[in-house]
Amino acid sequence: MSNFITESKLGRRLGAKGVYITMGACLIALAGAGAAAYNKAMDELNNTIVMDVPRVVEQVDKKAENVPKVQDSSAAKRDTASSAKDADSSMMSDDIKTQPNVMPVNGDIIKPFSAGELVKDETLGVWRTHDGVDIKADAGTPVKAMNKGTVTEVKEDALWGNCIIIDHGSGVTGYYYSLSKAMNVTEGERVNAGQVIGAVGDTAECEAAMLSHLHFALKKNGSWIDPIEYIGIKNSK
């Protein structure tokens, strides 16, 4: 009887502690399993990194080929504008070569080009250079463009009267002075050789003492040249 009672008490004591012991054993087992699983996962991850790194390095180290270059838009615009300008300059240069020069009016030369020499001005009574030629023509006589070109100025000058200035290309500029008010062209207009641009008008106050005429002058690369010689050379070819 006393043995039974002793065993029962022990059993009760062991029973309460047994629960804790069992739970502890389970936690230890779970911890062990978790550690094993963690170690296994780390081994797989390390293997994956070791296997994949060389391939990644190889891909990064490989240079891309046949990649189209992106052109700067501003540079493209500059190239386009430059090409257009060159084409226009070429066209202007060809104008001189492909069209014959013509006299703006037909008539006697009543005052030639002075080539930098001083000559007496009948109207002003002073000595000065005569940088063009005065071609005799009645008022109202049509005045023609010497060659193809672009009209750069249409103006009224206090000394030279009504004036038209034409860029004929190749560095050549034509000056058509003492015109009537009935001028047929506007600034920026393109003209052809022989096209009527206006008429003789006797409007140049600085040459009013002379017979009715057209004052015609040429510049080449910024220097005055003899219009008759220039047109004569072109016509002789």
Q: What is the CATH number of the domain that holds 139?
A: 2.70.70.10
Task: Report the C-alpha gap between 192 and 103 in whole angstroms.
Answer: 13
122 and 177 together in one domain: yes
pTM over 0.75: no
Given this model, what pLDDT does residue 54 score? 44
109 and 21 together in one domain: no
46 and 140 together in one domain: no
Given this model, what pLDDT does residue 232 score? 84
Given this model, what pLDDT does residue 40 score? 61
Domain assignment of residue 96, yes or no: no
Given this model, what pLDDT does residue 146 score? 96
210 and 133 together in one domain: yes
pLDDT along the chain (237 residues), means of 10: 45 48 48 55 50 44 48 52 50 55 95 94 90 96 97 96 97 97 95 97 93 97 96 56
Structural domain containing residue 154: 101-235
The domain tally of the chain equals 2
109 and 35 together in one domain: no
121 and 221 together in one domain: yes
40 and 116 together in one domain: no
Given this model, what pLDDT does residue 124 score? 86
131 and 226 together in one domain: yes
Domain assignment of residue 57, yes or no: yes
125 and 31 together in one domain: no
Given this model, what pLDDT does residue 79 score? 56
Given this model, what pLDDT does residue 121 score? 87
Given this model, what pLDDT does residue 122 score? 87
47 and 111 together in one domain: no
From 11, 35, 63, the end of a domain falls on 63
